[in-house]
Amino acid sequence: MIPPFQHVGLIGKFASGELGEILATLADFFRGRGAHVYLDLATAELLNSPIEGCEVVDRETLGERCDVAVVVGGDGTLLNAARSLVDHHVPLIGVNTGRLGFLVDISPERMLDKLEEIMDGRAVTDERLLLQATTWRDEVVIGRCVAFNDAVVHKAGDPRMLEFELRIDGHFVNRQRADGVILATPTGSTAYALSCGGPILQPGQESLVLTPICPHTLSQRPVVIPARGKVEVVISEQGHGNAQITCDGQIAMTLNGGDRVVIEPYARRICLIHPEDYDYYAVLRAKLGWG
């Protein structure tokens, strides 16, 4: 059962009249249910006018005060919210105004009915894995990022392939030449990894998928590893081209030859809340055009 939410955060993307209208409708709904409503500061700055009855706070304060956050936008908006709120144990509800909607699964037209169900305790929850990518240079940590979908080591601004060494749980796997390599969570298995030929993993599966990007040797195939696995990618000292580590396609850092990227499960998980009729396979049918 979902407990009654007394403190609700609203997060949105896209500066349009539709966003303001949806947020205002959501604020009225939750206030009508006796909840205190907080509006994300970055979201408020996108709007032409304030949302009545909302307290505007930064993302950190929203995480500290809220029982739940409703994310209005596309999957990228929810990815950003998940990374910023996972340490606060704030569950997320997604309202889709984007293009795809694997993660933000409630349509604006049905959101009040679906939120009524959720507030009445008729809902489905699922815990999702995240990743942490740590970059080492000369045995010093120079960067760390969290990813909900995937962590990708890839070439950047250079036509040459990357050359890198791959290890899983300390075991040498191989030395590859490719455009890069993706480590995806089950959530991210339907994102970049899927377009590179990777398998689809069910969200609740305790696995990760390692998928090469345009490998030079066609025998390089996607590999599914346990969720507790630790992957190391070491960039070759020579002939590496320009390399980057990118998390969720939103956070990027330049890599040099000899840099080592360690990617492993993040210590905490994010909870997504869906209406009670949520069906993952129905989402796949709709988004992938299955018959």
* Residue 84, phi then psi, degrees to nearest 5: -80, -20
Residues 213 and 92 in one domain: no
In a domain, 256, yes or no: yes
Q: Same domain, yes or no, for 154 and 205?
A: yes
| Whether residues 146 and 261 fall in one domain | yes
204: which 2 tokens?
């609740």
* pLDDT recorded at residue 213: 97
Which domain does 135 fall in, by range?
A: 131-265
Residues 237 and 276 in one domain: no
CB 75 within 8 A of CB 98: yes
Residue 156: the pLDDT is 86
Residue 223 scores a pLDDT above 80: yes
Name the residue with tokens 């009654």: 4
Q: Give the CATH number for residue 168.
A: 2.60.200.30
What's the pLDDT score for residue 2?
67
The answer to the question of residue 1 being in a domain is no
Phi/psi at 270 (5° precision): -105, 140
Same domain (yes/no): 166, 147: yes
Do 216 and 235 share a domain, yes or no?
yes
239 and 278 co-located in one domain? no
Mean pLDDT to the nearest integer, 142-150: 97
Catalytic residue numbers, as ranges: 75
Same domain? 86 vs 195: no
Give the dihedral sign, CA 260/265/268/273. positive
Q: List, in order, residues 6 or more apart from 224 with CB less than 8 Å away.
A: 199, 201, 207, 208, 209, 210
Rounded Cα distance between 188 and 203, Å, is 9
148 and 116 in a common domain? no
Residue 176 has pLDDT above 60, yes or no: yes
pLDDT beyond 90 at 146: yes
* 97-143 per-position pLDDT tens digit: 987 789 999 999 999 999 999 999 999 999 999 999 999 999 999 99
Q: What is the pTM of this model?
A: 0.94
* 23 and 123 housed in the same domain: yes
Instruction: Look at residue 151 and tell me if it is in a domain.
Output: yes
Q: Are 61 and 240 a contacting pair, CB within 8 Å? A: no
Closest by Cα among 130, 255, 129, 251 to 180: 255
> What is the per-residue pLDDT for 216?
92
pLDDT level of residue 160 (50, 70, 90 thresholds): confident
- In this prediction, residues 141-154 reach a mean pLDDT of 97
The total number of structural domains in the chain stands at 2
Looking at the structure, tell me whether residues 82 and 146 fall in a common domain.
Answer: no
DSSP 214-261: S-SSTT---EEEETT--EEEEE-SSS--SEEEEETTTEEEEE-TT-EE
Tell whether 2 is covered by a domain: no
194 is a domain residue? yes
Amino acid at the residue 52:
E
